[in-house]
Amino acid sequence: MAIFENILGTVGNTPVVRINRLAPKGVDLYVKVEAFNPLGSVKDRLALGIIEDAERTGALKPGQTVIEATSGNTGIGLAMVCAQKGYPLVVTMAESFSVERRKLMRFLGAKVVITPAAERGTGMVRKARALADKNGWFLTRQFENEANADFHSKTTAREIVNDFAGKRLDYWVTGFGTGGTLKGVSRVLRKERPETKVIVCEPADAAMLTSGAEQDRNPDGSPTKSHPAWNPHPLQGWSPDFIPKLTADAVGAGVIDRVITVPNAEAMHWSRQLALKEGIFVGVSSGGTFAGSLKLSADLPAGSTVLCMLPDTGERYLSTPLFGDIAADMNEEEQQIAQTLS
């Protein structure tokens, strides 16, 4: 067992796990389980990377308040980092996201400012920028900040390259939230594992990459309004109502080999199946990337190797439709089991 100076040393080095019961015959399907990060998601990486970069460059001053717009996981990761380092944190968050996330951030000491659901992700981004400008707070800019992608190049990508050294890796499958994982990992794979194809998944109801429509942006790369192809969807943390600059950079660099759209119901289904058949407890965005991996794998030749990113833990979704049919009280079968001792 390793001994760490503080909790931040435990970020990264997440496991790659073989899928056994759900994998198509003849395909070696693996998942990288980002729920093993200390606060349960891949966004712990960007939180640490952005804050440490800002400290190095002097953009973040001792005791300065940090602010970010978040669907939850980035805010939770930032709350951990800021708690450990002693920075006050304010997050803006659309009211449509799960209450578990609000409570977790507040438990870690963050202040959570709720924005109207109708204003979507662009609304919470505008609110964060306005508060930062008014109060002189440090805005982390997760959707545009190069430190986000850089940290994934230094950690996530290196872990994948090392784990598959001397082994086949034909496809790497991911979704996109900020685009940091996509940009940071894909550029390393293009250089060091050029045979590995990069596959991106997005919700069928918010097929922004598939549509090919341009995203209107401010000079700093932030969105001016919702993307025309975006519609509300339940895959929290996946595909905000705009194409983040980091994602657009990856598209522009030509590193994406294929985009797969995933219906909401399939994402929900495969999140549950990962729990039931593989014992892997992850959220609905993970179900989405896994669904995309299965679609991809259905047409692959025997012996192909696929690695799928699973972004977060299932505990972020207890109040969402993912757990809609999971009761707290005993069902009829459980009552019958209990009565066998009567």
Could you report the per-residue pLDDT of 1-20, keeping only the tens digit for each? 689 999 999 999 999 999 99
Query: What average pLDDT score do residues 255-273 get?
Result: 96
Write out pLDDT tens, residues 136-174. Answer: 999 999 999 999 999 999 999 999 999 999 999 999 999
Choice among 248-252, 288-292, 316-320 with the minimum mean pLDDT: 316-320
At 249, the amino acid letter reads D
- Determine phi and psi for 139, rounding to 5 degrees: -90, 120
Cα 41 to Cα 11, 46, 230: the distances in Å are 10, 10, 24
Name beta bridge partners: 30: 18, 307
For residue 80, the model assigns a pLDDT of: 98
At 265 the three-state DSSP class reads helix
* pLDDT over 90 at 97, yes or no: no
Backbone CA torsion sign across 144, 146, 147, 148: positive
Is residue 139 within 8 A of residue 65, CB to CB? The reply is no
- Residue identified by tokens 């924005």 is 115
Share of the chain above pLDDT 70, in %: 99
Q: What is the pLDDT of residue 104?
A: 93
- Report residue 253: phi and psi, to 5°: -80, -5
Is the per-residue pLDDT at 256 higher than 70? yes
Please choose, from the candidates 308, 72, 314, the residue with its C-alpha nearest in 3D space to the C-alpha of residue 200: 308
Q: Known catalytic residue: 43? A: yes
- Is the confidence at residue 281, as pLDDT, over 90? yes
The alpha-helical segments, DSSP class H, found in the chain are 43-57, 73-85, 99-107, 120-135, 146-154, 156-163, 180-192, 208-211, 245-252, 264-278, 284-297, 332-339
State the catalytic residue, choosing from 32, 43, 127, 245.
43
Mean pLDDT confidence for 227-253: 85
Q: Which residue has the higher pLDDT, 78 or 318?
A: 78
Alpha-carbon span 285 to 317, nearest angstrom:
10
Q: 117: helix, coil or strand?
A: helix
Q: What is the DSSP string of 49-111?
A: HHHHHHHHHTSS-TTPPEEEE-SSHHHHHHHHHHHHHT--EEEEEETTS-HHHHHHHHHTT-E
What's the pLDDT score for residue 342? 66
Lowest mean pLDDT among 96-100, 299-303, 310-314: 96-100
Mean per-residue pLDDT, 51-61: 98
Residue 187: predicted pLDDT: 97
Domains observed in the chain: 7-38+156-323 (3.40.50.1100), 43-139 (3.40.50.1100)
Which 8-state DSSP code applies to residue 339?
H
pLDDT of residue 316: 87
For 323, half-sphere exposure in the C-beta direction (CA atoms, 13 angstrom radius) is: 14
| pLDDT band at residue 293 under the 50/70/90 scheme | very high
The per-residue pLDDT for range 189-226, each reduced to its tens digit, is: 999 999 999 999 999 988 999 987 677 777 777 777 78
3 state DSSP class of 28: strand
Task: Tell me the pairing of strands 16-18 and 28-33.
Answer: antiparallel
The angle subtended at Cα 88 by Cα 84 and Cα 94, nearest 5°, is 110
Question: At a CB cut-off of 8 Å and minimum separation 6, what does 210 contact?
Answer: 202, 229, 259, 261
Q: Is 17 helix (H, G, I), strand (E, B) or coil?
A: strand
pLDDT score at 1: 62
Structure tokens at 167: 């082994």
Average pLDDT of the segment spanning 49-55: 98
What's the CA gap between 91 and 127, in Å, rounded? 10
Candidates 285, 293, 297, 304; catalytic one: 285
* pLDDT confidence of residue 232: 79
Q: What is the mean pLDDT of the chain?
A: 93
Q: CA-CA distance, 185 to 198, in Å (whole number)? A: 9
The residue type found at 237 is G
Q: Is 285 a catalytic residue?
A: yes
